[in-house]
Structure 1
């Protein structure tokens, strides 16, 4: 399967919100957190948002922010039928290229989320923890 990224528009917000809520709901419940559509929408407005696409259409969504130290993956979700087909690994490699300047790619993952194994396979290390989350990062240098 061949993947590509497409800049998400405000018309894609309902898709991204619904996908994120469905993917994260059980982790929110496990960690006694409350989902907020308004909170998601506010975060969307201040982030770099992309749709993950294949020839079949949209397969997922990624949301990014950055500072002078790192590129941060804030959300990364695939439609369930596309999980395990390589899109997640492909996206992480694309983000590693984008993160060469400033040199770090960071994310936070719920401790009970099996995606942690994917991140570790793609070069991320656990660098800290908070409550129910692992903080992870990958060094991304040119060459």
Structure 2
């Protein structure tokens, strides 16, 4: 299965918002958090967004931000039809490559503590650095070899 990346545009916002809500609403409800479309839109517009494609069809996206300490994955969402088919693993590999190319000291992300995606991140070398309420803060030191 071959995936491709392209920079996301404002035309991809509705797809990205809908996918994120669809994938994450259960976690928001479980942890008594409020999903807000407007908050997603504001955050999405302030980030670097990449669309994941398969056969020119959107299958997911990821959003990034950065500072001197790290490259941050703010969102990584894969459409349900493409989950457990390697898209998430491929996307993380792309992000790790970006962090290396940009010579960032670390790759960081936050994941709901009960989200099975944390196992993918662990397989890719990210380690839990701390916990905040219902979230795990994870990090990969970029000098670390990736599987």
Aligned residues: 143
Please list every run of 5 or more consecutive structure 1 residues that lacks an aligned counterpart in the other structure.
Answer: none
**Structure 1 residues 39 and 140, CA, compared in 2 at 3 Å: closer, same or farther?**
same
Q: Which runs of 4+ in 1 moved over 6 A?
A: none
Candidates 131, 135, 138, aligned match of 1:136 = 138
Matched ranges for 1:17-32 at <5 A: 17-32=17-32
User: Are the counterparts in 2 of residues 97 and 140 from structure 1 also a CA contact under 8 Å?
Assistant: no
Alignment of 1:1-143 (within 5 A): 1-55=1-55, 57-100=57-100, 101-141=103-143
Change (3 A) 1:89 1:74: same
TM-score normalised by length of structure 2: 0.94
CA RMSD, Structure 1 to Structure 2 (Å): 1.3
Cα distance in 1 for partners of 2:57, 2:105 equals 31
- Summarize the Cα distance change of 1:108–1:142 in structure 2 as closer, same or farther, 3 Å threshold: closer
Shift of 1:17: 0.2
* Structure 2 residues without counterparts, runs of 5 or longer: none
**What whole-Å deviation, never above 9, does each CA across 1:107-127 have from its counterpart, x for those lacking one?**
000001010001001111000
